[in-house]
A and B are shown apart, each in its own frame.
Chain A
């Protein structure tokens, strides 16, 4: 009995030693790779390793997109940036139209992929999409997790409330004691928290409007672009109104929208170049005007 036990132990030890061996081997090789990369490939033998190191710095996404023949754009349904008109199956909007032009400039087709907003970074990193182009506010978190374009649109957070209670909300300087619906993880959530509100995080900005309309929350904090598009007369939320620039209120600068790519992707440069060209020839302003964004778009 003891013999068998000792044999089993010996076998286990052999296996664990073998695992250690292979582990340290891979560890040392990767260390060598990175150190030779930092020397920027002096000797010939380090040549291949250094090119590996450079790949980590910039990802050759432009070529990858061209190879696959399609640019996959991660979006959510968000008028007036990415949306469908009644009875139509085509994505339109300021962001959608510009994305089509960008894909055209790369010489590839474009496909819009609806995503769950909370997973936008994972979608990019796991390469299920190539960019996030959907009125994404350039927050610190976004800047840290993605390769982002130059800002192309300005935005601030605003307060949406029932129009018949407008007197209670206009001119507020703090949101203390109010139940404020916000999109989970959004810039609006941060703004509401900083102003002392009790936040009700929901799945999307549009759901925050449902909260206010049904009276389950007192008010909502969302992007002004969205508030302008979705509230007031002629919209489905005719009895909601918005006012207050919550960015001014917190002495914060306006927010900017940007397009997100994988960190280190060379699509960022390709995009910035494309955008500068389209600003110069007036296309950006033209498309922005179509969707009523001529004041918000960044043209310098």
Chain B
């Protein structure tokens, strides 16, 4: 066993896997940093109640002294920002992430006049993959946020109003705080999925840990036909998701002090 870990082949493989896993980790953290705030923005978009035609329609109805019909009710409920956002949610959640990565990396260079907008080399691939992951995960997060925000009972913000809090105070100190507590379990699910989804990045030849492992199957640095490196990547993923689970578990406990 010790000999196995000391052999030069193992050393070479582990070095390559470590290098690959650093890429995996980079992608993981960049995605989280980008998608967590962007998801909130998207959640606001899909909850936006701006209805440009509502007032006009009500006024017309009032002038005519009519009860709202089917058409009028549709016009009152017409909320363009929310509609557009929900349409985008449908697009992003309804297509495979691997397809989004491939499209985002290759299509601009094929259709744009100025050619490929991504930087050349490995950096460009990383940038494209990060953008794809941030967009994809932000839309998933947005739905979790929306569920969390809408799940906070109306009585909570009403209580805030009674206490004379401003709208901003109510959102940040009452709603958002309780939302964070509610969304930790579903967010943990998504974040653990993200750990493993990073492997999709190899579709455009980003050299993450699975790519590094597969290279030893077909031949890399004089080593070929090894399949244990691919199986061994499970150790990396398991170890990392154990850490993530622990951190998220702690967060959940920390937020346990108030119960709603």
Which residues of chain A have a CB within 8 Å of any CB of chain B? 1, 4-5, 68, 70, 72, 77-79, 83-88, 111, 113-116, 119, 122-123, 125-128, 203-207, 209-210, 213-214, 230, 235-237
What is the bound-complex CA distance between A204 and B216, given in angstroms? Answer: 12
Instruction: Please determine whether B218 and A77 come into contact, CB atoms closer than 8 angstroms.
Output: yes
Size range of the chain B interface in the assembly = 35 or more
Inter-chain contacts of A230 with B (CB < 8 A) = 219, 224-225
What is the bound-complex CA distance between A84 and B13, given in angstroms? Answer: 13
Instruction: Please determine whether B221 and A236 come into contact, CB atoms closer than 8 angstroms.
Output: no
Known contacts A128-B118, A128-B120; A116/B205 CB under 8 A: yes
Out of A5, A68, A84, A122, which one reaches B221, CB within 8 Å?
A: A84
Max count, chain A CB within 10 A of own CB: residue among B12, B106, B226: B106
Instruction: Please determine whether B204 and A116 come into contact, CB atoms closer than 8 angstroms.
Output: yes
Inter-chain contacts of B71 with A (CB < 8 A) = 1, 5
Q: Which residue of A lies closest to B64 (CB)?
A: A1
Inter-chain contacts of A128 with B (CB < 8 A) = 105-106, 109, 116, 118, 120, 124-125
Instruction: Please determine whether A111 and B121 come into contact, CB atoms closer than 8 angstroms.
Output: yes
Inter-chain contacts of A79 with B (CB < 8 A) = 219, 222, 224
Instruction: Please determine whether B219 and A77 come into contact, CB atoms closer than 8 angstroms.
Output: yes
Out of A70, A77, A123, A214, which one reaches B215, CB within 8 Å?
A: A77
Inter-chain contacts of B221 with A (CB < 8 A) = 83-88
Max count, chain A CB within 10 A of own CB: residue among B102, B108, B116, B219: B219
Residue B256 CB within 8 A of the other chain:
no
Instruction: Please determine whether B225 and A116 come into contact, CB atoms closer than 8 angstroms.
Output: no
What is the bound-complex CA distance between A125 and B75, given in angstroms? Answer: 46
Inter-chain contacts of B226 with A (CB < 8 A) = 236
What is the bound-complex CA distance between A105 and B51, given in angstroms? Answer: 64
Residues 139 to 197 of chain B near chain A (Cβ within 8 Å): none
Q: Which residue of B lies closest to A183 (CB)?
A: B218
Instruction: Please determine whether B8 and A126 come into contact, CB atoms closer than 8 angstroms.
Output: no
Instruction: Please determine whether A213 and B218 come into contact, CB atoms closer than 8 angstroms.
Output: no
What is the bound-complex CA distance between A128 and B112, given in angstroms? Answer: 13
What is the bound-complex CA distance between A205 and B107, given in angstroms? Answer: 27
Residue B67 CB within 8 A of the other chain:
no
Inter-chain contacts of B203 with A (CB < 8 A) = 116
Instruction: Please determine whether B207 and A126 come into contact, CB atoms closer than 8 angstroms.
Output: no
Out of B72, B116, B122, B217, which one reaches A126, CB within 8 Å?
A: B116
Q: Which residue of A lies closest to B109 (CB)?
A: A126
> Please, what's the 1-or-0 string for B90-128, where 1 marks a CB less than 8 Å from any CB in chain A?
000000000000100111111000011010111011000
Q: Which residue of A lies closest to B227 (CB)?
A: A210
Max count, chain B CB within 10 A of own CB: residue among A68, A72, A126, A206: A126
Instruction: Please determine whether B120 and A70 come into contact, CB atoms closer than 8 angstroms.
Output: yes
Inter-chain contacts of A210 with B (CB < 8 A) = 217, 225, 227
Inter-chain contacts of B214 with A (CB < 8 A) = 203
User: Could you pull out 12 A-B pairs where Cβ atoms are within 8 angstroms?
Assistant: A4-B60, A70-B120, A77-B218, A79-B224, A83-B220, A83-B222, A126-B108, A126-B110, A127-B115, A128-B116, A206-B217, A210-B217
Instruction: Please determine whether B109 and A87 come into contact, CB atoms closer than 8 angstroms.
Output: no
Residue B247 CB within 8 A of the other chain:
no
Residue B22 CB within 8 A of the other chain:
no
Q: Which residue of A lies closest to B75 (CB)?
A: A4
Q: Which residue of B lies closest to A126 (CB)?
A: B109
Inter-chain contacts of A111 with B (CB < 8 A) = 120-121
Out of A68, A127, A206, A236, which one reaches B109, CB within 8 Å?
A: A127
For the complex formed, measure the closest distance between the CB of B54 and the CB atoms of chain A, giving whole angstroms.
Answer: 13
Inter-chain contacts of A4 with B (CB < 8 A) = 60, 75
For the complex formed, measure the closest distance between the CB of A84 and the CB atoms of chain B, giving whole angstroms.
Answer: 5
Q: Which residue of A lies closest to B203 (CB)?
A: A116
Inter-chain contacts of B121 with A (CB < 8 A) = 72, 111, 113
What is the bound-complex CA distance between A210 and B228, given in angstroms? Answer: 12
Residue B83 CB within 8 A of the other chain:
no
Inter-chain contacts of A204 with B (CB < 8 A) = 218
What is the bound-complex CA distance between A229 and B78, given in angstroms? Answer: 67
Known contacts A86-B223, A204-B218; A72/B120 CB under 8 A: yes
For the complex formed, measure the closest distance between the CB of A281 and the CB atoms of chain B, giving whole angstroms.
Answer: 30
| A-B contact sample (6 more), CB < 8 A, given A122-B110, A203-B214, A210-B225 | A83-B221, A85-B222, A116-B205, A210-B217, A213-B225, A237-B224
